[in-house]
Each structure stands twice: as C-alpha cells, then as structure tokens.
A and B are shown apart, each in its own frame.
Chain A
Amino acid sequence: MITDKLIYSSLVRGDSNTSLDLLRKTPFPSRKDEQWKYSPLKKLKKLPFINNSGFSVKSISTLNLPKMNGLILVLENGRVNANLSEFHKINGIKLSFLSSSKENDNPIINSKKENYFSLLNSSYLSEGISIEVGSGFRVQENINIINIVSSNDSLINTKLDLILSENSSIHIRQYFLAHGKTTNGFINHNNNFIVQNNAALVLDKFQDLKNNFHISNDFIEQEESSKFISNTFSMSGLLTRNDILNNVNGEQCHSELNGIFTPFKNDHIDNHTTINHYFPNCKSYENYKGIMKENGVGVFNGKVIVHENAQKIEAFQQNNNILLNDEASIYSKPELEIYADDVKCSHGSTTGQFDQESIFYLRARGLTLKKAKELMILGFINEVIQKSENSDYIDFILERVLEN
C-alpha cells in the first residue's frame, strides 16, 4: 500500500488524525470495485512513492500556458513556488495557505467525499489553499492555480477549499502538469467547494500529465439559485482520473459539467461524475467529448440522481466519442437514477470513427487530409470548448488537442 512506504518529513497538519484512522480502515481500491472497474491501479499501488519537494521549473514561460490575468499560484511538487507565483491582494477574497495557517485553524470545509484517495489526500496533505469570497463580491480577476510535478516518483497531495458567499462569483483555472521528462509522479488533489445562495463559480481544469498519475476528487455543494460550471480538459496521463461529486442542495440551481479528454499513447483518462438533485426546479447539463488515439483508453461514467421530491428537474447528460484507430478504446456508462415523477431527463452516449465520406467532402473542397481531420475534431469539440469564454484559453486548448 502506498501509505506504508511514505516518509513524510514535511507533512502539513490538517485533519490528518481522523482521516488517517479512516484511511487505515479503507481498502485500496481494485478493479473489483464498481467505481474502478475500467481503470487499473496496479501500477499506482506498486510504485514506491517518495516525498520530494525541490523546485526545478525555472520560469513560468517554459510551461507554454495561455495568457493569464489575476493571481497565479504555483505549487511545485506540493510546495508553493513563490518565485513563479504572482500574488496580490484582491478585494473581497480571503486567501490562505495551509502551510502558513495556525495550529488551531480549522479547515473551512469538511468534505463529504470519502474514498481512498480523498482520505489519502487529507491524511498526508502537502499543501492546501483556502479561498473565501465575501458576500456580494463578483471577482473579475481569475485565480490561476498551477500544480506541477517535476520530480520522478513523488506523491503530491494538494487541495483547494473554496467558499463562495452569497451573491459572489469567481472564475478559477487549475492546471495540473508534469514538467519535462518527469515520470511516475502522482498528483492527488482534492477540490472542496461550497457555492452559497445566488453565487456563481466557473472552474476550468487543464490536465496534462504524460507518464504520470493524477487523481482529482472534487466535491461541490450548491445552495439555492447558485451556478456551478466545470470545464475539464484532460490531455494526457498514465492515469488521469476526475471524480466529481456535485450535490445540489437548493432550488433554482444551474449545474454544468463539461469535458474534453484525449487519451493517446499509453494514456488512460477516466471521468467519473455524480450529480445529486435533492431539490426541485434545478437544471443540470453534462457534456463530455472523448477522442481516443493509439492505445489510449477513455472512461466516462456519469451519474445523475434525481432524489424523491426533486420535481421539475431538467437533467441532460451526453458523452460522445471518436476512436481514431483500432487500438483505442472507450468505456462509456451514462447513468440516470430518478426517484421523482415529474422530471425531464435524458442521457446518451455515442462512439464512432471519422466518417470517410465527410473527410472526402472536405478534401474535395480543398482541405488537406490533415486539415480535414483537424476541422472534424474542431467541430466535434466545438460545443464544449466554447464554454470557456476566453479566446486565449480556447485557442490554447485547441492547439493542445490538435497537436496530440
């Protein structure tokens, strides 16, 4: 088991005692667990992870990220790399790092999401960021959080706790990256968000961790009339897994989970999502697009649960996939559980290859084979990519998808 081999010298205090007790009682998941049926953990389990906190990224420009406005917080190997960060005070935001918090500060959120990896995270936290957005503050600047693994075999446990008070809004961009030739590192991240009445949160996640592991456990609790939009762009990873639990605890909420995943050579990208509709009159939309190439494996398992008394729910879930060659694969499982009787819900999944007639049509109009395929991919992901309204960011994602 991972934890037995860990030597944690720089362990940050958290709620580690309770979590550690729970973690010890939680078995390491295997493919026998329904939740892990399509994603292998054997390699992850066997690796002798270490805790290395050195820095090796020289400048932020070497990461080739899009233009950023607002705060830039860089975590490298689980520690704040202050030289690469751009930090200033923003009106209405209370931001703190766990490593510099006081002994008796309590975490601002207690996650209700408990699985092996979220518990591993809270038991052995490397660093955490807490953000509270004050009531009524509509923050114009973005918060960019760049989470890098740059050292082989390192286990990094990071988290972001975020509370959006009533009537506030903010846009968060997270980047999870493996630097240079780093291999077999593991960024194990927790996102814990509370979106209070009438607040709005947009989360863009970009994940590019070729030859490394990454699991993100996201817990989002929405209160009345709030809005949550999550856009997840997963480019690569030996295992990149997003596990989103979105609890909608109030009426008139809007929830959106969008994603593009592009597992190519030796990549395995897994999106697990659960939306719980506990209250009536809410809408949720889920749209994931997968493009699989070479021996890349994609997984989509989306679940929408409409609980009893949650009437007048509109929930739409869609997963479309393209397999670019014969070795690529996708496991797609859209699920709906409905316990209310007056709802409008749909779910669907499609998987196919490029349509040769379409390619011929484009070529007959003068597009090269390469351009024709690019345009087809563009068309395929367009609907999802337009959800990020910033053109620099859209161009960045497009470029990354097309260069794969």
Chain B
Amino acid sequence: MKELLVEIKDLECKIGDQEILKGVNLKVNKGEVHAIMGPNGSGKSTLSSVLAGNDNYEITEGSISFLGEDITEMSPEERSWKGMFLAFQYPIEIPGVSNINFLRTALNERNKFFGDDPIPAKDFLKMVAEKSGLVGLDNRLKNRSVNEGFSGGEKKRNEIFQMAMLNPKLSILDETDSGLDIDALKTVANGVNKLKSAENATIVITHYQRLLDYIVPDFVHVLNDGKIIKSGDKNLALELEKKGYDWLTGNTTK
C-alpha cells in the first residue's frame, strides 16, 4: 500500500489580477517520481512556488495537504521543517552570507522547531563533507557567499547539495536542467537519484525530456493554461519530445 505524501486538490491561484493556476489536481505517493512538463507560461513554476509557500501568489480555491495535514496556509519555513524542499530555477545570491553559515542556520532552525539541540559543529562538518561529495561541489564554494559569483552549474549543484543536507520528504526540482551542460546535468541527476528512497518523492518540473533520461519518472503530467491536461508514464515525455505540445493544447499557430 503506497502512502500518500502530497495531495493537491482543485488548486487555483492568482498573482495580482492574473489567474495562473485554474484547478490543479495531483497526488504524489512516497517513493514516486513525477515529472510536470508544459509549454512556457503554463504555470509550472507557479505551481512549484505555491507548493513551497510563496505568498506572492494568492490561493483562491482548493487545498494542498502534506502527509495528511492541510498546509495551504502554512509558512514556507514550516513546510520546509516538515520536509518540503524547492530547488529554485534561479537560485538567489545572498552576498555576505556564507553557504555553510546559512545551512547551519537552516538546520538549527528546524531542530529548534522540533525541540532538538543545535547540531554539533563536528557532526555538521562531517555531513557537509559527505553531502557535497554527492554532487561534486567544489570545496571552496562551501565557504563562499551563498551563490554569489557561482556559475549556472555551480548554483544548481549547490541547490542539490542543500537538498542533500536537509534530506526532504518531497523535493520539487524547478527547471533544474536549465543552464546545465550535459556533464553537469549527469552529476546533478546522479545526486538526485542517490537521494531517492521509498520514503521520499520527487516532483521534477522541466521543459525538455532530456533530464528525464537521467531522472526517470514514474508519472508524467502535462500542465497547460493552469491545468493538468494529460497524465501518463515516461513514454508521454518521449512523445512530447517528438511532437511538441501543440497536439495536446490545440495550439496550431506555431
């Protein structure tokens, strides 16, 4: 019996006056990998942002539950503490704050929430050494300011490194393949695969099928105009690669 991790029900949201999601339904069980594909502007990144709790978007309908708990109104930090992780499409640069210091603060904030003691420095550094190896993050990047002056590939590796450190139950990878060359893509995908277990799940948001050669999905969903219009297995992604989106969206202007 598969255990339900996240359930999105009839989710609608808008930013300003613009409606973006218009009724999204999705169930993700533990141990599964879901890919969400779709043309530009279909709402893929919005969906990932809303799942992580970005309050720039106003949820007008529907709900999100995580491990049986309604998290629709929950703050981003509490979602994170409970095991949600969003790897950003454009990881933010935070000048003056070292990567290590930031991660340690993040872990300790979570410990505080669960009433645990701060992580001892020795254990923390051991963990850093172990997890950074997973994505081949250059040693010197660990002590540099968060993402500042990192190349596109380094930023994405850093996202997966942070994911490894936080060990989430649900990882949402928002266009993690964008800006990556093929070698970096393999390393990053490899890192993600190593973190996969029967206890966690991954939602991969991507434009192209390429990433799905390396992170193989159990389910593929096509998002268009704020709704999931088709779901299938990994073969759907291959079909999309061949035919594009137009045959599904009915858009024939291209």
A interface, CB within 8 angstroms of B: 355-358, 360-369, 371, 375-376, 378-383
Distance from B131 Cβ to chain A, minimum over Cβ atoms (Å): 14
Assess whether B75 is interfacial by the CB under 8 Å rule: yes
Residues of chain A within 8 A of B103, CB atoms compared: 365
Q: A378 near B96 (CB under 8 angstroms)?
A: yes
* Contact call A365/B80, Cβ cutoff below 8 A: yes
| Contact (Cβ within 8 A) A357 B109 | no
Q: What are the 5 closest A-B residue pairs judged by CB atoms, nearest first?
A: A379-B96, A382-B96, A366-B80, A379-B97, A363-B76
Asked if A367 meets B105 with Cβ closer than 8 Å, knowing A356-B56, A361-B88, A379-B145, the reply is: yes
Query: In the bound complex, do residue B77 and residue A367 qualify as a contact, i.e. CB atoms below 8 Å apart?
Result: yes
Say yes or no: A360-B76 contact (C-beta < 8 A), given A365-B166, A367-B106.
Answer: yes
CA distance A375 to B101 in the complex (A): 9
Q: Does B129 contact A (CB under 8 A)?
A: no
Q: Measured between C-beta atoms, what is the minimum distance from B174 to chain A in Å?
A: 11
Is A363 a contact partner of B145 (Cβ separation < 8 A)? Answer: no
**How many residues on chain B are close to A (CB under 8 Å)?**
29
Decide if B105 touches A371 in the complex (CB within 8 Å).
yes
Chain B 68-86, CB within 8 Å of chain A: the 1/0 string? 0000000111011100011
Which of chain A's residues has its CB closest to B172's CB?
A364
Question: Could you name 18 residue pairs across A and B whose Cβ atoms are closer than 8 Å?
Answer: A355-B92, A356-B56, A360-B52, A360-B54, A364-B52, A364-B53, A364-B86, A365-B102, A366-B77, A366-B166, A367-B106, A368-B77, A375-B102, A376-B97, A378-B97, A379-B145, A380-B95, A383-B96
A368–B107 alpha-carbon span in the complex (Å): 12
Query: Min CB distance, B242 to chain A, in Å?
Result: 35
Chain B residues within 8 Å of A362, by CB: 94, 102
Closest CB-CB distance, B46 to chain A, in whole Å? 13
Which residues of chain B have C-beta atoms less than 8 A from A375's C-beta?
A: 94, 97, 102, 105
Q: Is B162 an interface residue (CB 8 A)?
A: yes
In the assembly, what is the distance between CA of A360 and CA of B79, in Å? 12
Cβ-neighbour of B80 out of A355, A363, A376 (below 8 A): A363
Q: Distance (Å) between the CB of A376 and the closest chain B CB?
A: 7
Looking at the complex, which one of A355, A358, A365, A380 makes contact with B106 (CB distance below 8 Å)?
A365
Q: Is there an interface contact between B97 and A363, defined as CB atoms closer than 8 Å?
A: no
- Distance (whole angstroms) from the CB of B7 to the closest CB of chain A: 20
Q: Tell whether, in the assembled complex, residue B162 and residue A379 are in contact, meaning their CB atoms are under 8 Å apart.
A: no
Given the complex of chains A and B, what is the CA–CA distance between A299 and B79 in angstroms?
41
Closest to A356 in B: B56
Shortest CB-to-CB span from B15 to chain A, Å, is 12
* Complex-state Cα separation, A382 to B95, whole angstroms: 9
B134 CB to closest chain A CB, in angstroms?
18
A216 to B79, CA, bound (A): 49
Of the listed residues A358, A366, A375, A378, the one surrounded by the most CB atoms of chain B closer than 10 A to its CB is A366
Q: Point out the residues of chain A lying under 8 angstroms from B81, CB to CB.
A: 366
Contact B109 A366, beta carbon cutoff 8 Å? yes
User: Please, which residues of chain B bring their CB within 8 A of the CB of A364?
Assistant: 52-54, 76-77, 79-80, 85-86, 88
- Mask, B28-42, CB within 8 Å of A = 1, is 000000000000000
Q: Which residues of chain B are near A378, meaning CB under 8 Å?
A: 96-97
Contacts of B166 in A (CB 8 A): 365-366
Answer whether residue B157 sits at the interface, using C-beta atoms and an 8 A cutoff: no
Q: How far is the CA of A376 from the CA of B94 in the complex (A)?
A: 7
CB neighbours (8 Å) of A381 from chain B are 96
Q: A358 contacts B110, CB within 8 Å?
A: no
Enumerate chain B residues within 8 angstroms of A379, measured Cβ to Cβ: 94-97, 145
Nearest CB on A from B163, distance (A):
10
In the complex, B23 has a CB within 8 A of chain A: no
Does B91 make an interface contact (CB < 8 A)? yes
Complex formed: what's the CA distance from A157 to B105 in Å? 45
Q: Which residues of A contact B52 (CB under 8 A)?
A: 360, 364
Name the CB-closest residue of B to A381.
B96
Closest to A386 in B: B96
In the complex, chain A residues whose CB is within 8 Å of the CB of B96: 378-383
**B106:A366 contact, CB within 8 angstroms:** yes
- Cα of A355 to Cα of B90 in the assembled complex, Å: 14
Assess the B92–A371 pair: CB atoms within 8 A.
Answer: no
Q: Which residue on chain B has the smallest CB distance to residue A365? A: B106
Contacts of A368 in B (CB 8 A): 75, 77, 109
